[in-house]
A and B are shown apart, each in its own frame.
Chain A
Amino acid sequence: MFGPLTVKPGSSKNNKTGSWRVELRPKFLQKNCIGCKMCILICPEACIEGEEKNSYICDYSYCKGCGNCALICPKKDILMIKEESSD
Chain B
Amino acid sequence: MNKHLFNVGHTACAGCGQSLAARLVIDASGPNTIVVNNTGCLEVFSTKYPESAWEVPWIHSLFENAAAVASGVEAALKYLGKKDGINVIAQGGDGGTADIGLQALSGMLERGHDILYVCYDNEAYMNTGAQRSGLTPFSSNTSTSPIGTQSIGNIRPKKPMPEIVLAHGIPYVATASVGFVQDLQRKVKKAHSIKGPKYIQIHVPCPLGWRHESARTIEIGKLAVETGLYPLIEYEFGKLLAVRQIQPKPVEEYLKAQGRFKHLLNNPDAIKQIQDIADSNILKYNLKAQPSQTSSSRQANE
Whether chain A touches chain B in the assembled complex (some CB pair under 8 Å): yes
Contact call A59/B8, Cβ cutoff below 8 A:
yes
**Chain B residues within 8 Å of A8, by CB:** 52
Contact call A71/B218, Cβ cutoff below 8 A:
yes
**Chain B residues within 8 Å of A46, by CB:** 2, 4, 6-8, 23
Contact call B217/A17, Cβ cutoff below 8 A:
no
Contact call A12/B52, Cβ cutoff below 8 A:
yes
Categorize the interface residue count of chain B.
35 or more
**Chain B residues within 8 Å of A9, by CB:** 52, 54-56
Q: How far is the CB of B179 from chain A (nearest CB, A)?
A: 10
B181 within 8 A of A: yes
**Chain A residues within 8 Å of B280, by CB:** none
Q: Which of A4, A14, A15, A40: most chain B Cβ within 10 A?
A: A15
* Known A-B contacts A44-B15, A49-B2, A62-B8; A11 and B215 likewise in contact (beta carbons under 8 Å): no
* Known A-B contacts A49-B2, A80-B215; A7 and B8 likewise in contact (beta carbons under 8 Å): no
A41 within 8 A of B: yes
Contact call A62/B50, Cβ cutoff below 8 A:
no
Majority secondary structure, B binding face:
loop
In order of increasing CB-CB distance, the 3 nearest A-B pairs are A67-B215, A12-B9, A66-B15
A16 to B11, CA, bound (A): 10
Count of A-B contacts with CB under 8 A?
Answer: 105
Chain A, 55-87, contact with B by CB distance < 8 Å: what is the 0/1 string?
000010010111110111000000010000000
A34 within 8 A of B: no
Instruction: Report the nearest B residue to A17, measured CB to CB.
Output: B9
A64 to B215, CA, bound (A): 11
Contact call B218/A72, Cβ cutoff below 8 A:
yes
Contact call A7/B52, Cβ cutoff below 8 A:
yes
Contact call B50/A7, Cβ cutoff below 8 A:
yes
Out of B11, B12, B47, B182, name the residue touching A41 (CB < 8 Å): B182
Chain B, 168-181, contact with A by CB distance < 8 Å: what is the 0/1 string?
00000000001001
Known: A49-B1, A68-B214. 12 other contacts (CB 8 A): A7-B47, A7-B49, A9-B54, A9-B55, A12-B8, A15-B11, A17-B10, A44-B19, A44-B20, A62-B8, A71-B215, A71-B218
Contact call B14/A66, Cβ cutoff below 8 A:
yes
Contact call B217/A66, Cβ cutoff below 8 A:
yes
Q: Which of B49, B181, B214: most chain A Cβ within 10 A?
A: B214
A9 to B52, CA, bound (A): 6
**Chain B residues within 8 Å of A7, by CB:** 47, 49-52
Contact call B15/A68, Cβ cutoff below 8 A:
yes
Contact call A10/B215, Cβ cutoff below 8 A:
no
- What are some 10 contacts across the A-B interface (CB < 8 A)? A4-B50, A11-B52, A12-B52, A41-B182, A44-B14, A46-B6, A49-B2, A66-B14, A67-B15, A80-B215
Q: How far is the CB of B6 from chain A (nearest CB, A)?
A: 7
* Known A-B contacts A44-B19, A64-B14, A68-B15; A12 and B53 likewise in contact (beta carbons under 8 Å): yes
A59 to B178, CA, bound (A): 22
B225 within 8 A of A: no
